[in-house]
Chains A and B, each alone.
Chain A
Amino acid sequence: MTAIQRNNVVEHGSPDARPMLFAHGFGCDQNMWRFVWPPFAEDHRVVLFDHVGAGGSDASAFDRDRYSSLQGYADDVLEICRELDLTDVVFVGHSVSSMIGVLAAAAEPERFGALVLVGPSPRYIDDTGYTGGFTREDIEGLLESMDSNYLGWSSAMAPVIMGNEDRPELGAELTNSFCRADPEIARHFARVTFLSDNRADLAGVRTPSLVLQCSQDAIAPEAVGEYVDRQLHDSRLVHLEATGHCPNLSAPQETIAAIRAFIAA
């Protein structure tokens, strides 16, 4: 199985132009970028994908060991880059995928020309001298939230949610049909995401980086964005007027403009 199949890679735009690789965060899939990527397809090779377990990825490729840390997801990103022979990549990562991009760029810096980190956080749980915004109990609460929201469809709906590419109308009948994910894998991804600590990896990045920080972001507070900006060697911090954690959905125009300004510079 190729990474292109495994990660449901979808391409738009000009194959010869500079590649932009969009990586979605926890909780959703490549649909997260639907308002952002289209204008970039005019002058870039736009590459979208789903992490294993999310969206149209091949859930059978899930391996608890491989994906026991964000490095496994970063390895997937690098495999996609290798298979598509991408260089000078503009990597655009939302939420946890910011850190996945950081790990990938630290491992193979020659592939990446720029990193755009949307709402990054290298550690979600508070630590001595560091405010991530959450406690361990909060993360357990998240897992409980996920459990109560998957309860209704875990076994009855699993066959509908997984597979059935040949019967897409089944998917359309789901209450919440976007951002579907295998519940077991989603739970695992939640743990890996919110219990990881990648603060030490930031210093290993030499790629020019843009940190996009929203106001009132409940997941990645402003102090965290500032921390990421300080730790990176070559980084610029831009405060968006957008509120919340998903400016790619709530303020796509502002997000697009900030990315454009950065990669044009």
Chain B
Amino acid sequence: MTGDDELLEDTAEDLFENAPCGYLSTLPDGTIVKVNRTFETWTGLRREDLLGAKRFQDLLSPGGRIYHETHYAPLLRMQGSVREIAVEIVRADGTRLPALVNSVLRSDEQGHPQLVRTTVFDATDRRGYEQELLRARRQEQDIAQQLSRSLLSGSLPAAPGFEVEVVYRPAVSGLEVGGDWYDAFWLDDDTVGLVVGDVVGRGIGAAATMGQLRSAVRALALTGLDPGRLLDTLDAYTERHDVGLMTTLISAQLGLGSRRLRYACAGHPPPVILSPGEEPRFAWEGRSAPLGVRLDGPRGEAALTLEAGSTVLLYTDGLIERRSESLTDGLDRLLREVAGHRDETVARLAPAVVRALHDPQHVDDVCVLAARVA
């Protein structure tokens, strides 16, 4: 036999012992009955100490052992196989081998489990990289959440006969912050600016854009611009600096003495008006396209005089959108919920409406601002 032939002459035993993966056979309870040389080399554990004496789960880190008992073993029994489970095997010297493990369960003709075959892949580099990714993702979430929180901090205007409440609820999946924002601030001694907006996108970028637009709206509002002209100027800002295209928002000004509400709505869901003794309704006037969409003329705005004790509710689309449901249904439901809580203070009404309508499986933030004038 020549040297070449010898190389090709892999015996089954050699294939098993020196396979490029660890190989274990265990009884259904985990007791190890067979192990290959690769596994011994990787772990420093010796077959004479393992066979008949240790169970596979005994070789795992304590946390991994819980995972094995609560996930791995049940899955294996129910599916007959498990794939790509990440575990850490404790080596003879106490260090840990990050591994990816596949198992198949062999059963007899009656379906009674007889034997488990497990392959073990060294995943040291992969696990290190995954942990870096996980760390990076957590970090970005933290930064974005802090950014969003700090941008939305600050006290709300307070005055006799004026109530305002905001509820801001990030999407429950919690992977990234969204770009919803609210604002309420004094324009002069008697007039309050009210804003709710929604920036496209998620994460740090959306939070930063939201911060820029929020400041821009505040600054423009203080120059005395009407809501419609304010949006026109914001359009120019958006285009000039390429910030916040397709953002939707409502810009409103509420005179507390006159109860005069002026508002303009850029592609945003309409405000709800709740007047005493009437059914709540949407204010569908004063509408135009989202920011950055080129228009033929100036943006529209509308005004109305509220009756004493009326409530204005501004919100973002996360409140009314639900999976597998039309927007109309969402809007109808909003009116019903507002009607159902009409006799409560806005401090109770706003959270109650969010609780009733918010679909936590919907991956969008929810922001609600409710204001009432006596």
Contact = CB atoms under 8 A, between A and B. Distances in A.
A141 B62 CA distance: 7
B177 to A, nearest CB: 15
Contact of B134 (A135, A147, A162): A147
Contacts of A59: 360-361
B57 A62 contact: no
A250 interface: yes
A176 B74 CA distance: 11
A162 B361 contact: yes
Nearest to B68: A218
B70 A27 contact: yes
A162 B363 CA distance: 12
B86 A145 contact: yes
Nearest to A177: B79
A134 interface: yes
Contacts of B83: 175-176
Interface in B41-98: 55, 57, 61-71, 73-75, 77-79, 82-88
Nearest to A159: B363
B82 A145 contact: no
Contacts of B66: 134, 138-139, 141-142, 145, 194, 218-219
Contact of A138 (B62, B70, B360): B62
Contact of A249 (B55, B73, B133): B73
Nearest to B84: A175
B29 A145 contact: no
Interface residues of B, number: 43
A79 interface: no
Contacts of A127: none
A216 B53 CA distance: 13
A208 to B, nearest CB: 28
B235 to A, nearest CB: 34
B70 A26 contact: yes
A144 B361 CA distance: 25
Contacts of B174: 184
B74 A179 contact: yes
Given A59-B361, A250-B28, A145 B69 contact: no
A246 B173 contact: no
B79 A178 contact: yes
Interface residues on A, range: 35 or more
Interface in A68-93: none
Contacts of A216: 29, 55
Interface string A140-167: 1111111111011011001000110000
Given A141-B64, A219-B66, A244-B30, A28 B86 contact: no
A34 interface: yes
B74 A27 contact: yes
B23 to A, nearest CB: 20
A32 interface: yes
Nearest to A176: B75
Given A155-B175, A177-B79, A244 B361 contact: no
B323 interface: yes
Contacts of A62: 172, 360
- Closest CB pairs A-B (n = 9): A141-B63, A27-B70, A138-B62, A142-B63, A145-B67, A148-B86, A245-B69, A60-B361, A249-B77
Interface of B: 28-30, 55, 57, 61-71, 73-75, 77-79, 82-88, 113, 127, 130-131, 133-134, 172-175, 323, 359-361
Interface of A: 25-28, 31-32, 34, 59-60, 62, 95, 134-135, 137-149, 151-152, 154-155, 158, 162-163, 175-179, 184, 194, 216-219, 243-246, 249-250
